[in-house]
Amino acid sequence: MIYCIIFIILFLLELAYFKVADRYNIIDKPNERSSHTQITLRGGGIIFYIAAMIYFIYSGCQYPWFFLGLTLMTVVSFADDVLTLSNRVRLFVHFISVLLMAYELQIFTFPWYYLIIAFIIIVGVINAYNFMDGINGITACYSLAVGSLLLIENYKLNFIHQDLLIFSILGILVFAFFNFRTKAKCFAGDVGSVAIAFIILFALGKLILQTGNFLYILFLVVYGIDSIWTIVRRLYLKENIFEAHRSHLYQYLGNEAGKNKLVVSFMYGLVQFVIGLAVLFITDDLFKYQVIFAITLLLVSSGIYLIYKTYIIRKYVK
């Protein structure tokens, strides 16, 4: 019953945000990176943060340092959606937020290089999540897939408070209702993609640190492969990787190839979910088999990705 109530509250709060966004002209205009052609409300993904805030209050202030980091990250991302902040301000707040998450995860009790590795992964994934948020439904489908995988594993290992995952998934479902449609009512905005990435990374970090198994990072392998190989290709073409672009595979599929964007988004989530189930199965096996699985998965997935993307580019991209 409590989850039904939370879902209704989140739904109503999302509708309230739409009124605020409409009143203050918080909109997303099409640009060179966009896959949409109409002006749409921006920042609907703020519901991810609201879901986490409701959990924080409901739980009696569990994970306070994580929530503080999430709050800072959300505030600066929302401000950037509305005002466009300088890179220095955003990077500074991101740095502080990552340190707060690391403190909550107790990474400071590990050797110093753990913090460096964690910082690189967290910043990399957050940026990948942000850049992958380019067509209707992709953030919702992918986050729902990863969140569900974490929820499944949490039933067995109890590595994090269950309600944080459930409340976050409820927020994703509310956002999906308005975003997973041909003409989206809203987009996630930086505030949404950054917030849900921060939440997922915290849960994933808890899982990895409790089990000591880095194989769980493959819960993000689909986004990882698309992001990394896109960067490699842009570097090869001597493009500025920091400039807006539409050269991810999902963008070529949805724009140049004319595939149904909702189907593309759904397939990204489905493929990640299936891979995640395989990860859950193999984590109970011997370490050497896990290594073989990870290497094989990365090589085969990269090969399929590169062959298919090359085919799409040669056939549809002028």
User: How many C-beta atoms lie closer than 10 Å to residue 186's C-beta?
Assistant: 24
- What confidence score (pLDDT) does residue 51 get? 98
Q: Classify the C-alpha dihedral 277-280-284-287 as positive or negative.
A: positive
Q: How far apart are CA 223 and CA 229, in angstroms?
A: 10
Q: Which residues pair with 186 in a beta bridge?
A: 41
- Indicate if the pLDDT at residue 32 is higher than 70: no
- What confidence score (pLDDT) does residue 243 get? 81
Confidence at 306, pLDDT banded by 50, 70, 90: very high
Number of domains in the chain: 1
96-114 confidence digits (pLDDT tens): 999 999 999 999 998 888 8
Confidence at 87, pLDDT banded by 50, 70, 90: confident
Q: To the nearest whole number, what is the mean pLDDT of the chain?
A: 93
> Of the given ranges (30-39, 168-177, 197-206), which has the lowest mean pLDDT?
30-39
Which residue type occupies 139? Answer: T
- What confidence score (pLDDT) does residue 29 get? 64
Confidence at 27, pLDDT banded by 50, 70, 90: confident
233-285 confidence digits (pLDDT tens): 999 998 988 787 889 999 999 999 999 999 999 999 999 999 999 999 999 89
Between 9 and 83, the more confident residue is 9
- What confidence score (pLDDT) does residue 298 get? 98
| Token duo for residue 261 | 């964007």
Percentage of the residues of the chain whose pLDDT score is greater than 90: 83
For residue 218, give its domain range.
2-316
- Indicate if the pLDDT at residue 35 is higher than 60: no
- Indicate if the pLDDT at residue 190 is higher than 60: yes
- What confidence score (pLDDT) does residue 270 get? 98
- Indicate if the pLDDT at residue 33 is higher than 70: no
Which residue type occupies 77? Answer: S
> Of the given ranges (55-69, 102-116, 149-163, 216-230), which has the lowest mean pLDDT?
102-116
- What confidence score (pLDDT) does residue 38 get? 66
Between 263 and 36, the more confident residue is 263
Q: How far apart are CA 226 and CA 7, in angstroms?
A: 32
Q: How far apart are the first and last CA of the chain?
A: 54
62-83 confidence digits (pLDDT tens): 999 999 999 999 999 999 888 8
- What confidence score (pLDDT) does residue 294 get? 97
- What confidence score (pLDDT) does residue 63 get? 97
pTM above 0.85, yes or no: yes
